[in-house]
Structure 1
């Protein structure tokens, strides 16, 4: 979801959904962009879970876990999984009733010094592979490698199935602890108050 398409007035009611620890974290962000990403991410997560679980978004209570993703206790779905990611104005969420997930998105920025970043972030094998890629696709290849690694870290499972989605502005990788039985769908969801 491109959060730049939503204005502050449309979001004011959503902070009432937050638990006290979520509200404290939201208010603690110094950078306006990061505060906005947090707010839109939590709204998107609740609305996605609401559609999946058939319950009102405003009733879903998330427990903050410092250094980790939030937790939702929903006994009817013990294998419930979700993951959030953001990059610039974009915020993304993946949800499942049957498996843990790791999601990462990154804006494709051809002006970034991705070669220097790759030397710092990737091992020798990954850097050698990246240098062998066609120059015309190297930016997209870099970001696909980056989002794959980030999605794996979020999932925290050694053997995961990962999918890469094509998008004109983003690199998107979704990893699952279980094999995908059907291809996940990319949906553009707008925000709506209940």
Structure 2
């Protein structure tokens, strides 16, 4: 399966840990460099460890198909507090990785820098208190006047966009939300995207 990535566009690859074969995922550990494996080993929580591994594997699968190279040939350099740096292939893609709960995602573009954020919507969270703390009283008051479902959706839309803008690291040319049943997904790009990003659901074995 190859992603549709038209000129000026981007793709978002999404994988669900609950559907990924553990043996297949572990078999892909050899794709990671020494620094990546060292970081992987430092995670204490098993879920966080699996999120990290799946994120790096998913990125290599997606980028390999996009650039027509083997996933094992993609070399990343770990950078403390920053996204990894793509060392090989030299003519690569811009990318961003995100995770929330059992979901892991990466976004890719040939033409522009990206910032991706996904958030598992939790109806049990006190979004009004979080909004007041993160965005201020005006946003909290706006949310309070909405029905519960709309309040939850708008809060997570704002939260995801703020995180995606932060990950982008430069002024955003565009920020686009992608519809999903469980997740709030926002992709920001340095240059305005010509069209909405393509969403690719991956089970890895089929990728």
Structure 1 unmatched runs, 5+? none
* Equivalence map 1:33-112=2 (5 Å): 33-73=47-87, 74-77=89-92, 80-112=93-125
Aligned to 1:24: 38
Q: How far has the Cα of 1:193 moved from its partner?
A: 9.5
Distance (whole Å) between structure 2 residues aligned to residue 134 and residue 31 of structure 1? 36
Structure 2 unmatched runs, 5+? 1-14
How many residues align structurally? 192
**Shift in alpha-carbon separation, 1:193–1:115, aligned structure 2, 3 A:** same
Q: How far has the Cα of 1:87 moved from its partner?
A: 0.5
Distance (whole Å) between structure 2 residues aligned to residue 178 and residue 20 of structure 1? 34
* Equivalence map 1:38-187=2 (5 Å): 38-73=52-87, 74-77=89-92, 80-187=93-200
CA contact (8 A) 2:112 2:190 kept: yes
Aligned to 2:12: none
Over the aligned positions, Cα root-mean-square deviation in angstroms equals 1.7
Q: Indicate the structure whose relative CO is greater, using CA pairs within 8 Å and at least 6 residues apart.
A: 2
CA contact (8 A) 1:118 1:127 kept: yes
TM-score by length of 1: 0.92
